[in-house]
Structure formats: structure tokens, C-alpha cells
Amino acid sequence: MSAENTSLHGEWSSQLGFILAATGSAVGLGNIWKFPFLTGSNGGGAFVIVYLLCVLLICMPIMMAEILLGKRGRSSPINTMRNLAREYGHSTAWQILGWSGVLAGFLILSYYSVIAGWALAYVPQAAMGTFEAVAHLPQAEVVGFVSAIFDNLVADPWKLLFWHTVIILLCIVIVAGGIQGGLERALRFMMPALFLLLLILLGYAMSTPKFMEGVHFMFDVDFDKLFYPNCTEFSCEFSGQGILAAMGQAFFSLSLGMGAIMVYGAYLPKTTSITQVATIVVISDTVVALLAGLVIFPIVFSHGLQPDQGPNLVFNTLTVAFGKMSAGNFFGTLFFILLVLAAVTSAISLIEPTVAWLIETGRFSRISATIFCGLAAWLLGFLTVFSFNIWKEVRPLTWLMSEQAVLDVQPGDFVDKTWFDVLDFLTSNVMLPLGGLLIALFTAWFLGESVLKQELALGNRGYRFWRWVLRYVAPIGVGLIFLNAIGLFS
């Protein structure tokens, strides 16, 4: 297969179509829910700096490479990798990259949809004015009130299951609608609206008494907080997990390393400038994440919330904000609707690689492929649904350990992970960076130079720099962060 072929699945109507879709994939729960809570749990500024470095030095060049592979291959990641490897005389084993993307997509979607379900569950709460009570409560009771709303939701597996189901159905409807019909239309109004609402929230955050404290938390760099998270009076233990989390988050937030961006690249019109679209997507995604942090932390500090409370951080913080701000019911309803939409436009890119591949086998229509994928992710989602209630105490990573060792496990230890934590760690911190590593190696070492030059149109110097980063900086960076995380340098 070569660049002369067009994609079996259709094309974006224009370059803008791709930018909207790729930004839609990148901007999602990762930016608004996950980035603030990881920043909060990993000590603030140092995490943000490492995150930004990973975005710039590792992820941006990989983003260009992933788009390029898709644009050349013009099919699902599995077939794109197989065909490109064959075309350039390499082993078709490279298609493993496509397969790991298929698996990662299911695993991520299974929990992503449950969290998107939380956001959906907050829509009626906001609309009915549940959060208003915050404005009338004494300060000391605010935290208890907002936590109770969240805890009530996640403690009930039936509620979670219900919202998870609705989200999966939404995804199925949109993906089944096809590339232009479903996606582009929804994204055109959604992304600007989400951005606007974040700015409104930022306005509120700036009016809180501790706005600057939030800013300092996000931008004052203290590496000790990242390297030595569990310091007590007597001991400090080094941990490379914070850096790994920052890198994993960079891949997750940019939807890299699993074929989502690759498959979107396959639908690109041939005249598109890869460098330009990649830059726009990376900047938009990063700005939204930083904005979300700037909204969340001032509110956290102004209302006595904890920055390191974990996955409930954004929900509890925003409940306070909407409870206190004027027209909070209206803005709250709108915000959670937009968050759900942002999540859905990301979720659909998680199954698109698999859907495209199933269609290419010739045995599935787009509709049946989508239903099949949705169903699989829905079933897998039970693991996450139960992680917050009936299986709250279950720690799968301890199953192979001796009884004595299990008794010694402390909260916060590596193995102290629920099913949800395991899925999140495995996908964001292992599978996506590994996928990215393979993409970097394949593109920079195994594709013909003329192809790369032609596709990137960067000029000689720019091209050499990009290839150097992809050949050496990105793979070595990813490798070192992995080794650091397993404690090799401690």
C-alpha cells in the first residue's frame, strides 16, 4: 500500500476536520480530571515541569511520527504497520504495535467511560441545584458536604453501571455515524464552548482569596516533593513513580502510543502539513490542562480541600465552585455536559483503531464493528465500576505474593492498587509509552528518508533535528524513565 491509495473509511473534509478530531481525542478527562489530580498527588510544580518537558521533547516528535505513519498507511494501525513494514522490507512483526493499541484502547475505554459516567451523573445534580447548599453552609462543613455527594455516587455500583452504559451507548452512536457525519459535526461547536467555560471558571478562581497560592503550587518547582513523596520524620525513600506518571500522563493526554492519532492520520487529505497540525493539537491540549489546573488549585486552597485527594479532586472542587458562584447551576450544568462531550470525543478515538481494523477484515460493517467494540469495553468496565464499591479492598497485584508479604503492604505502596488503578497504570504508564517508543524507532530508523522529508516538509535543519530527537532523545528518555521507575537509579 502506498500514499497513492485513499482510505477505505473516508476522509476528513479538510485539515480543520483532522485538527478538530485530534484535539477532540486529546482534550478530555485526561486534561480536566486527571492532570489536576496527578499534579495534586505528586506535589505540584515539579510534576508540571516534568510533564511539560515530556510533552515537548518526547511526545511532540512522536505525535508527528504517529500522524505520518497513519497518513502513509491509510488504514487501521494493524494494517498500516504491516503494510509499511512490508513496503520497506522489514518484518511484519511491527504490526504488534497495532495490536497493543487495540488492547490499550479497550482497557482505557473500559475505565474512561466509567469516569465520564461520573461527569454525566453530575449534570442532573448541577441542574437541580444540589450544589447551591454549599453557599449556605459554614466553611467547616463544606468539604464533608461535597465529599458526600461524590461518595454516594461511587458507592452505588448500580448507579455507576447505569451512567457507564449511557456513555458507551453515546460512543456507539457517534462512531457508527462515520468519520464526517458523526465526529466533525459534534466537534465544531464543542471545543470552543469548553474553552470558553474554562475561562469563565478561571475568572471565578481568580476571585477566590488564594488564587496566587494555587499558581505557586502549580509552578513552584520542588523536586523533593516529586522524588520523595512519602517522607516521614525519620525516613525518606526515593521514588521514580512521579516522573513515570508525568510521562504517562503526557502520552495519555495527547492520545499517543496506541494508534488513535495514527488512525485519524489515515483519514487526512494528502496535502495536509503534519508539522502544523501536530503543533496545533499539542498546544491546545497543553493549554487546556494548564487552565484546568489553574482553575482547580486556587479553589482547593481557598476552601480547605486537599490537593492530593485523588480521582475525586476535580468533582469535589468544582462542586464547591459551582455552589458558590453566581448562576452556578447554569454554568455547572453546562460544564459537566461539555466535560461529558469532551470525554466522548476522546472515547470514540479509543475504539476507532479497532473498528477500522474489523471493517478491513471484510466481515464487519461499521455499525456491527462499533457495537462489538462497545460491548467488549462495557463488560470490561465492570472492573472499574466495582473498584469503587464492592471490590474497593481488592488488590489484584498482591495475588501472587505470599501471605506475610501481603500483610506488610502499606497504603501507597506500588502493589496497593485497585483494579481501576491497575488498568490506569498499565495503560498510561506502560503501554502508551512503549507504543510511543516503537513508533519513534520504526519511523526514525526503518522508514525511507525521502518519505519522511517529503511528508514533513520541514527544511533540512528542522528535519535533521526532528529525526535526531526521534532516534535518540525520545527512546532514551522513555527508557531512562522506565528504569528509574523500577528503582534502578535509587
Binding site for ligand PFF (CB under 6 A): 25-26, 28-31, 108, 252-253, 255, 258, 260, 346, 349-350
Return the exposure string of 157-192: e unless at least 16 CB atoms fall within 10 Å of the residue's CB, then b.
bebbbebbebbbebbbebbbbebeebbbebbeebbe
Give the separation between CA 431 and CA 447, rounded to whole angstroms: 23
C-alpha closest to that of 433 among 261, 256, 281: 256
User: Of 26 and 440, which has the nearer Cβ to ligand PFF?
Assistant: 26
Give the separation between CA 419 and CA 390, rounded to whole angstroms: 12
- What is the smallest separation between the CB atom of 31 and ligand PFF, expressed in angstroms? 5
**Residue 32: partners with Cβ closer than 8 Å, 6 or more residues away:** 198, 288, 289, 292, 314, 339, 342
C-alpha closest to that of 150 among 119, 113, 110: 119
User: Of 34 and 366, which has the nearer Cβ to ligand PFF?
Assistant: 34
User: Of 33 and 466, which has the nearer Cβ to ligand PFF?
Assistant: 33
User: Of 239 and 255, which has the nearer Cβ to ligand PFF?
Assistant: 255
Tell me which residue has its CB nearest to ligand PFF.
Answer: 30
Give the separation between CA 83 and CA 95, rounded to whole angstroms: 9
- What is the smallest separation between the CB atom of 284 and ligand PFF, expressed in angstroms? 11
- What is the smallest separation between the CB atom of 349 and ligand PFF, expressed in angstroms? 5
Give the separation between CA 286 and CA 296, rounded to whole angstroms: 15
Contact 24, 190 (CB under 8 A): yes
Give the separation between CA 186 and CA 169, rounded to whole angstroms: 16
- What is the smallest separation between the CB atom of 139 and ligand PFF, expressed in angstroms? 33
- What is the smallest separation between the CB atom of 246 and ligand PFF, expressed in angstroms? 14
Give the separation between CA 117 and CA 418, rounded to whole angstroms: 19
Cell of 414: 506500588
- What is the smallest separation between the CB atom of 456 and ligand PFF, expressed in angstroms? 22
User: Of 204 and 357, which has the nearer Cβ to ligand PFF?
Assistant: 357
Cell of 57: 521533547
- What is the smallest separation between the CB atom of 224 and ligand PFF, expressed in angstroms? 28
DSSP 184-210: IHHHHHHHHHHHHHHHHHHHHHHHSTT
User: Of 142 and 294, which has the nearer Cβ to ligand PFF?
Assistant: 294
- What is the smallest separation between the CB atom of 424 and ligand PFF, expressed in angstroms? 11
User: Of 229 and 433, which has the nearer Cβ to ligand PFF?
Assistant: 433
User: Of 60 and 134, which has the nearer Cβ to ligand PFF?
Assistant: 60
- What is the smallest separation between the CB atom of 28 and ligand PFF, expressed in angstroms? 3
User: Of 29 and 194, which has the nearer Cβ to ligand PFF?
Assistant: 29
CA distances from 44 to 49, 129, 242, 270, 295 (A): 9, 32, 11, 42, 14
User: Of 79 and 428, which has the nearer Cβ to ligand PFF?
Assistant: 428
Task: Categorise residue 459: left if φ over 0, alpha if ψ from -120 to 50, beta otherwise.
Answer: left
Neighbour count for residue 197 (Cβ, 10 Å): 17
- What is the smallest separation between the CB atom of 319 and ligand PFF, expressed in angstroms? 21
Neighbour count for residue 401 (Cβ, 10 Å): 14
CA distances from 25 to 20, 35, 237 (A): 8, 15, 37
